[in-house]
A and B are shown apart, each in its own frame.
Chain A
């Protein structure tokens, strides 16, 4: 199965959504996204970090080095309040676009 490319900005949305579960480190975020999408959305792990950096720069997440359960030091990312707000907006916008695309493709209401 070919891996579909992600639309720009989608990765950030997925990361924010994942972080609503609680503070996670980078690898856990990558795994979570892969698992939930049944391995359909297989992003290159490396691309996750520039996305996180952009979220940090926009103040949508914060990062902190903490002891992980395995005893290693890991950098945990936490979604901020404005991150949650942004996620809400993004999901709403995504729904609108997804619906519009579905309409154009003549599939509205079928699934």
Chain B
């Protein structure tokens, strides 16, 4: 292997140049010794050998050591100049580090959230099947409907298969430690359709549906959280809702479908098989479809419409108006995070561009001030190649350092954001910087080096040495062109910074408006507790007694003002809708998007909600329920616009699928209209709601709403109170106490994503502003340096400091104005891109624009003033002597 020998030799020489020198010296000595022994004539030995110094240099040249010498020399030059102006190097390295680091961090996050496919085979063909109605209502289809789809030949042509998964909550006990987890009950073909493999053990296949002993697969996150990633987990038995279940496999990281599930069991193990026979809306379920290869969702929708129309005719009560629809599960699992991540990535790329513009500007400025040095070098014999190489080495070394610092910053910021973003973005625990992203950082570094180094280098060497030597003033290689270019670069930087500032301003306005929204109740002081009764309370009367006892126990806690019950609390994660029919109107006029709330009589006073008209439930309504509903303002406005909703008759259906009487109609009249309460977040409009007495339909689980004088401090006493009623409701340790939460936190949390995007965009805007200021200071300082003599003359002729200041200011204000103007236009354009993130704020929000223009102007002026002060202090005599 000749190249291997060669490489080994070269590496040895290059890595240990000292040893190389020692070896060739030793070899020469040896040569002369032998020659002396043979010839006994010293002078002729020298003659025979030839010029020793020459051959030594020749040998070094043959070993290509002169290249290393050159690089060493360039580096030494660089270090010397860095020592002379450390700020320059620091600014270049920092600029690059910020640009490259941020871009790397954000590209890894974007890559992780958006681009890395889910751990399912061909995840882009997996569809979440839904049903839609003409009013825009959405529901998950029922098991019998899915069974009809499965038998339909059209569906079979579009899909490899569709399968129904039933969700449920269950108590998982490992030893004495219990917690509530999400369980998915799946049909035989589920795992093969999903295309997920087990990381450990196996997934459950068709044969396991008939297995007599209960088997289960668990999620990676449950495996880690509860079993510490125990590699011997397969074959272990755990207790799920008092039944022993054997774990046969663990799914890989991120393989979680439906998203609420941590444990998968065959549907034959489902405890309420009667629910599976009901048609209509199946909450807590998912239907998964896998599109055939070559079929897209539009083509599949055509087949689905046919079967949908057929079923609507066959089952008019449950299926009329409901047509099948689908969304990719990628969108279901990743949500609207996409807009946010893309926005952030765009901002990060803008900052990288800014950073590169800055570095280019800095290198250009430095080059012009070094023009004469380079000209001198050329004049005394440095080749063009040599000069370009020197400049290239400089920018390569600088950007290598910047790249290294950037990579460190990226690793660090990904680490920070992993914990920081875990609350806002899905699947953050799996986030890491991978090699692709790191090599991307390296690529960005190299491009920056070549772009910012090569081009100025070529520009510099194009000028004739003599021109530069003769030119007066501080360096003048291509001076007019270069300084025009630098002004353009700085203007661009201000424009970009302004775009980011405008976006940040619009987001801040949106946040302020969202935070100011009246949620319709008084959140501070409210503690919620999620009641998850054990199977001992499966019968409605038992559950009703439990809820009553829990409210009484909570009320007896010192500091507690009141306690109430609701099936699904606002700002909680769950809600249920009911089917509405209004007497004397067609079904077209009704909708399934009415939230169904079962409440106790003191719910209104505990929440401090407001009645708009009529009255709330009395205790008598609780004792003999039926015939009376309270609705919210939105519902009243939607169905009885312009007239009173009071005393209107309506029919809703029982909504708890875990009860035998699910879907039975409940008819009554409206006794009151309550002011709207925000259900999901401050920035989402309230939806129609109907309140029914909780005694009318005893919900199988629910929420205890407690108003205390100091919510957080009353939690320990509330834990004890709940435990005194039913110890099994609150497991020992932190697991059970997680079911207690402060309403105020839940309300605040809904705005967290907004706050986060503001923080990030603001951070980008600040970075951009700092970079633009560095660029501006550089331009101003350079202009002053170039006009030192002119300023000196003016001063000598009696110009005041003010007039000189105006002179300097005039130029930078052109840059600031142009930058601000084009930034405002850019801001307006990008505001349209982030429209989805705006709340009650138009893309031309006056406040956002004036604030960002003010910030920009102040910061830009201060970037001008600092170097300008130097010009004012200039001593006219000294200035005239310059050069």
Contacts and interface: CB of A to CB of B under 8 A. Distances in A.
B58 A50 contact: yes
Contact of B34 (A27, A49, A83): A27
Interface string A19-46: 0000001110011000000000000111
A59 B6 CA distance: 4
Interface in A53-67: 53-54, 56-60, 62-63, 65
Contact of A47 (B5, B28, B58): B58
Most chain A C-beta atoms within 10 Å of own C-beta, residue among B5, B24, B48, B54: B5
Contact of A59 (B4, B34, B59): B4
Contact of A80 (B2, B27, B50): B2
B63 A82 contact: no
Interface string B1-36: 111111101100000000000011011101101110
Given A45-B48, A49-B24, A54-B62, A59 B31 contact: no
Contact of B50 (A25, A45, A51): A45
Interface string A57-93: 1111011010000001111000011110000000000
Given A26-B31, A72-B30, A72-B33, A50 B62 contact: yes
Interface string B780-808: 00000000000000000000000000000
A91 B24 CA distance: 29
A57 B6 contact: yes
Contact of B35 (A27, A75, A83): A27
B61 A45 contact: no
A79 to B, nearest CB: 11
B5 A80 contact: yes
B48 to A, nearest CB: 5
A25 B4 CA distance: 22
Nearest to B54: A46
Nearest to A61: B5
A62 B62 contact: no
The SS class assigned to the A binding surface is helix
Contacts of B61: 50
Nearest to A50: B58
A73 B58 CA distance: 24
Nearest to A72: B30
A30 to B, nearest CB: 8
Contacts of A60: 2
A82 B2 contact: yes
Q: What size tier do the contact residues of chain A reach?
A: 20 to 34
A25 B10 CA distance: 20
A72 B37 CA distance: 13
Interface in B645-674: none
Given A27-B31, A44-B48, A46-B51, A57 B2 contact: no
Interface size class of B (residues with CB under 8 A): 20 to 34
A45 B35 contact: yes
Interface string B40-70: 0000000011111011001101111000000
B23 to A, nearest CB: 7
Nearest to A55: B62
B13 to A, nearest CB: 8
A53 B61 CA distance: 9
Contacts of B50: 44-47
Q: Which interface residue of A25, A57, A60 has the most chain B CB atoms within 10 A?
A: A57
Contacts of A73: 26, 30
A75 B33 CA distance: 14
A49 B55 contact: yes
Contact of B6 (A44, A45, A56, A72): A56
A58 B59 contact: no
B35 to A, nearest CB: 6
Contacts of A45: 31, 35, 48-50
Nearest to A75: B27
A26 B27 contact: yes
Contacts of A82: 1-2, 5
Given A44-B50, A53-B62, A58 B6 contact: yes
A47 B64 CA distance: 16
Interface string B135-179: 000000000000000000000000000000000000000000000
Contacts of B7: 59
Contacts of B38: 31
B25 to A, nearest CB: 11
B3 A59 contact: yes
Contact of B63 (A31, A57, A75): A57
B587 to A, nearest CB: 88
Contacts of A57: 6, 9-10, 62-64
A4 B561 CA distance: 116
A53 B4 CA distance: 16
Nearest to B65: A53
Contacts of B48: 44-45
Contact of B55 (A47, A54, A72): A47
A70 to B, nearest CB: 8
B54 A74 contact: no
21 contacts: A30-B31, A44-B49, A44-B55, A45-B49, A46-B49, A46-B58, A47-B58, A50-B55, A50-B61, A53-B62, A53-B63, A54-B62, A56-B63, A59-B4, A59-B6, A60-B2, A62-B5, A72-B33, A80-B2, A80-B5, A82-B5
Given A59-B1, A65-B23, 16 more contacts: A27-B31, A44-B55, A46-B50, A46-B54, A46-B55, A46-B58, A49-B55, A50-B62, A53-B59, A57-B6, A58-B6, A59-B6, A73-B26, A73-B30, A75-B26, A80-B5
> 4 closest Cβ contacts across the A-B interface?
A59-B6, A44-B50, A46-B55, A82-B2
